[in-house]
Structure 1
Amino acid sequence: MGSIRFDKVDKVFGPASGGVKALDDINLEIGDKEFVAIVGPSGCGKTTCLRMVAGFEPPSAGIVSVNGKAVTEPGPDRAVVFQQFALFPWKSVRENIELGLRNKNLPKAERDGLVAGALRLMNLESHADAFPHQLSGGMQQRVAIARAYVLDPEVLLMDEPFGALDAQTRVVMQEELVRLARVNPRTVLFITHAVEEAVYLADRVAVMTRRPGRIKEVLDIRSVRQAESWDRHERIEDVMDLESFVHLRTQIWKSLREEKGAHGV
């Protein structure tokens, strides 16, 4: 199981009185193997939410839990994929993927088998012995995702994972993530500024207010997708032409524009 829950979560940076309140009364549940994207204005606390699930940041109030257990530190049940690929340049693709397994002190034969499976999963077999500088940005992010998946986490936390890629590569990686979610599903919390990306990828999209961030609304994308048979579409350009996709995208943009207008930005 890989459920996530935010229960009345606040986050204040600095002293309790006079500090900066980043999050206010966050309440959100993410079910096992559900893909939830969070969008919102810059500085609203999206990444802070993810970091609390990862165990990198404690809440100032309330509880963040995974599988019903309060998160107090990082753990093997959660893996993080960042916008920057964070690969070791002196290690090959194979060695970068294997690194987390070495930290778990697994036998070499078991590590080799798991790495081989991750290479197949991300279509990286022909690049196993290449070094990061020899790879495109998209290929480097494939390695980062493979490194997360090889640890077999219940929860995958993705913080703007495609934000550093060019537009065409970003689309390819979005489609790749859809494929990956089908063949090897995980609970995913996905942070993005891109509304179209959120609608295309997620089962639900949570829209946040400006700081202090609150959950303004949560849109159920999965029910619309099922009703409109999006699953038969494998390419994002086919999905983007659907009337239901356009409606959801417009609804989210309108919600975000209201936040800007309310603050004179």
Structure 2
Amino acid sequence: MGVIRFENVGRVFGSKAKPFVALKEIDLEVQDKEFVAIVGPSGCGKTTCLRLVAGFDFPSSGKVLVDEKEIRRPGPERAVVFQQFALFPWKTVHDNIELGLRNQNVARSEREDRINSILELMNLTRYAGHFPHQLSGGMQQRVAIARAYVLDPDVLLMDEPFGALDAQTRVVMQEELVRLARKNPRTVLFITHAVEEAVYLADRVVIMTRAPGRIKEVLDVASIRKSENWDSYEKIEDVMDLESFVHLRTHIWRSLREEKAAQTA
């Protein structure tokens, strides 16, 4: 199970004399194997939310729980994929993917079985012996995702994972992630600045306010995707032409524009 729950979460940085309130009164539940994307203005606390779930940071008030257990540290049931690929340049694709399994003391035979399975799933088998510098940015990020998936986590935390990629590669990786999520679903908390990406990938999109970050609105994309059978379209550009997609995208953009205008007023 991979249920994430924020209970009246707040996060304050800085000193008592000069506090910065990053998050305020965050209440959100992400269901098991649900894909939730968070969007919002820069500085609204999106990444702070992800760091709280990862166990890299802790709330100033309230609680963050996974499967009813309060998060107090990083754990193997939660894997993180960052914007920067964070691959070890001196290790091959195989060895980069293997590293987390070694740290968990997984037996060698099981390691190899799991690595071979994820290499095949991610279409990386032919690149197992390559080093990161021999791969494109998209391929390196594919390795980073494979390294997270091979740990068999309940929760996958993705912090703008495609932000460093060019536009065409980004689209390919979005389609790849959709394919992967269908074959091997996980609970995903996905941080992004890209509205189209959020609508295309997520079951629900959480819109946050300007700082201090609150949840402004949660949009149910999954019911629209199901009713209009988005999954029958193979390419993202086909989905993006649909009236329902355009409506959701426009609604989110307008909401974010409101927050940006208030932020600079």
Q: Same fold (TM over 0.5)?
A: yes
Q: Which amino acid aligns with 1:51?
A: R
- Kindly provide the CA deviation profile for residues 94-122 of structure 1, in whole angstroms up to 9, marking residues without a partner as x: 00000000111122111111111110111
- Kindly provide the CA deviation profile for residues 4-40 of structure 1, in whole angstroms up to 9, marking residues without a partner as x: 0001000001234531110010111100000000000
Alignment of 1:158-173 (within 5 A): 158-173=158-173
Moved more, 10-19 or 78-87: 10-19
SS of the aligned residue for 1:145 comes to helix
Aligned to 2:28: 28
CA distance in 2, matches of 1:255, 1:93: 41
TM-score by length of 2: 0.99
For the aligned residue pairs, the C-alpha RMSD in angstroms reads: 0.8
CA distance in 2, matches of 1:6, 1:173: 29
CA distance in 1, matches of 2:189, 2:155: 8
Alignment of 1:211-230 (within 5 A): 211-230=211-230
Alignment of 1:148-227 (within 5 A): 148-227=148-227
User: How many percent of aligned residue pairs carry the same amino acid?
Assistant: 73
Aligned to 1:88: 88
- Kindly provide the CA deviation profile for residues 155-205 of structure 1, in whole angstroms up to 9, marking residues without a partner as x: 000000000000000000000000000000000000000000000000000
CA distance in 2, matches of 1:99, 1:105: 10
Aligned residues: 265
SS of the aligned residue for 2:63 comes to strand
Q: What's the CA shift for 1:42?
A: 0.4
SS of the aligned residue for 1:20 comes to strand
Aligned to 1:79: 79
TM-score by length of 1: 0.99
- Kindly provide the CA deviation profile for residues 236-255 of structure 1, in whole angstroms up to 9, marking residues without a partner as x: 00000000000000000010
Moved more, 100-109 or 213-222: 100-109
Structure 2 gaps of 5+ residues are none
2:111 corresponds to 1:114:
no
2:2 corresponds to 1:10:
no
